[in-house]
Amino acid sequence: MLTTTMKHTSRRTFLKGSLAGAASLSLPRSTWARPIGANELVQMAVIGGGSQGGGHFADSVAQRHGAVAVAVCDVDTVSLDRHKAVAAKSNLNVKTYQDYRKLLEDKDVDAVVIATPNHTHSLIAIAAIQAGKHVYVEKPVSHNIHEGRLLAEHAKKHPELIVQHGMQRRSDDGWLQIKEFLKRGSIGKPIVSRGFCYKKRESIGKCGTPIQPPPSVDYSLWCGPREMEPIMRRKLHYDWHWQWPWGNGDIGNQGPHQLDVARWLIDDPKACPERVISIGGRFGYDDDATTANTQIAYYDFKPIPVIFEVRGLPAKDMNFGGRMPFYKGNVQVGNVIECEGGYVAEGKAYDNDNKEVAKFSKNDGPGHRKYFFDAIKGGKFDFEHGALTGHLSSALAHMANHSYRLGGITPQDEIKARIKDNALFTETFERMLTHLKDNKLEGDLSKVVIGPMLTLDPATEKFTGDFADKANALDMEVYRKEFSLPPV
């Protein structure tokens, strides 16, 4: 039996299902996840050999966390050769694949770690579930709300498989200490849960004419579900984060880590909020990117809203060699929850006079990878590490981006008038304007985009009301037939 454990009383959702019974209903016998003993190494494969995937691969080559690498998959043969050489130094002969579909046919692979570009996360994860593999999928687990929900439903259908997201802070007990501290009312009732990504993002430049993919890359496989558009960025790898067909900007790159904690601190709602609005723009330079480098979003959770902020520009004077801005408690990338009598900023609590009143043993969850392999071998799995949690936290980024993309450049006085009844978001917007002024970007103040306040039905995860048709169309995207999403 696969059971879901509850570390604390707040962890109340669990899954149950017979391994043999569940598998026999949906998977051919040849693809059953094999039983793995407590002292046995999980045979794992990494799909996507970039920096994040490389870290996973190195751990499994070193046989850390109870797993050993048996295969690696990447659309770039240069990456495959590099990883094969790394494994060889440890006397491991790993198999290499360019096509993830071929890897998923490999019966020697028990589990896959997916660290590909965002637009293929859900697609590959669902295919892996259907192939009977345990799945660890990096954040964001999806490129849109629709496919994230499909992933969650496929995972639910196969409780014999472990499907874990890559938001490591869920394995950090320091945040549980913080939740208990807040629950006791130590600094009063919570007012707002905030997340921050103040992270340096310089221009990716303009290539002028399309670049050719390297000969080592299967570009059709790289594009996957997206059309094979000309490459309009100097670097094929990584800079896709800042173009909509493949990436989700920093709110969908770094953001899911902090959006996840922001949700967690307000009792981990099991549905998306009903309303979202986002403001921002790409300021300070003109390049091939299409996502915002400065963005704020307001999520109308009840009774405690969530606000997220992205700042890719430095603290002042467009000096990328200088420091980045920060919020209360010197937070740049992290979380702050503000209460009536003070606030918690990452691992410390303060009163309203900014005096430290408590400290927590926060470590950002270094055991998150180990938890995955332990769950495979032990059959115990915490709901908070699962596909649904990963989907809901990723969906927040997508909701905000849909609002932003459906917005238009609007004079700042008009923006202030539109949000004047929301004191928390107004204050956040004022600080964003000050940030732009600190970078001597007064001219860009006329280029600020405000999106509509979108309304979502949490039960169906479809937008309703004004802009619903356009928002739902954005979310569904277009999938090439060869890479279409299978229904549940």
d(CA 300, CA 230) in angstroms, rounded, equals: 38
Could you give the C-alpha distances from 449 to 162, 280, 426, 436, in angstroms and in order?
Answer: 41, 5, 15, 14
Give me the percent of the chain exceeding a pLDDT of 90: 88
Q: What is the pLDDT of residue 37?
A: 83
**DSSP code at position 211:** B
How many residues would you count in the chain? Answer: 488
Chain segment 306-325, per-residue pLDDT in tens: 999 999 999 999 999 999 99
| Mean pLDDT of all residues in 441-465 | 97
Q: Structure pTM?
A: 0.93
Give me the percent of the chain exceeding a pLDDT of 70: 93
CATH among 3.40.50.720, 3.40.1550.10, 3.40.1360.10, 3.40.50.300 for 19-170+370-378: 3.40.50.720
Q: Binning pLDDT at 50, 70 and 90, where does residue 8 land? A: very low
CA-closest candidate to residue 144, choices 422, 448, 477, 481: 477
DSSP letters spanning 275-341: EEEEEEE--S---S--S-SEEEEEE--SSS-EEEEEE-S-SSTT-TTSPPP-BGGGBSEEEEEEETT
Q: What is the pLDDT of residue 4?
A: 42
The gap between the terminal CA atoms of the chain, to the nearest Å, is 22
CATH among 3.40.50.720, 3.40.190.10, 2.40.50.40, 3.30.360.10 for 171-365+383-482: 3.30.360.10
What average pLDDT does the structure give for the chain?
92
Q: What is the pLDDT of residue 157?
A: 97
Chain segment 169-215, per-residue pLDDT in tens: 999 999 999 999 999 999 999 999 999 999 999 999 999 999 999 99
Q: What is the pLDDT of residue 32?
A: 52
* Start and end residues for every CATH 3.30.360.10 domain found in the chain: 171-365+383-482
Q: What is the pLDDT of residue 379?
A: 81
| Mean pLDDT of all residues in 24-51 | 72
* Start and end residues for every CATH 3.40.50.720 domain found in the chain: 19-170+370-378
| Mean pLDDT of all residues in 446-463 | 98
Q: Binning pLDDT at 50, 70 and 90, where does residue 348 land? A: very high
Asked whether 200 and 324 are in contact (CB, 8 A), the reply is: yes
Q: Binning pLDDT at 50, 70 and 90, where does residue 15 land? A: very low
Q: What is the pLDDT of residue 19?
A: 27
Tokens of 383: 């709901």
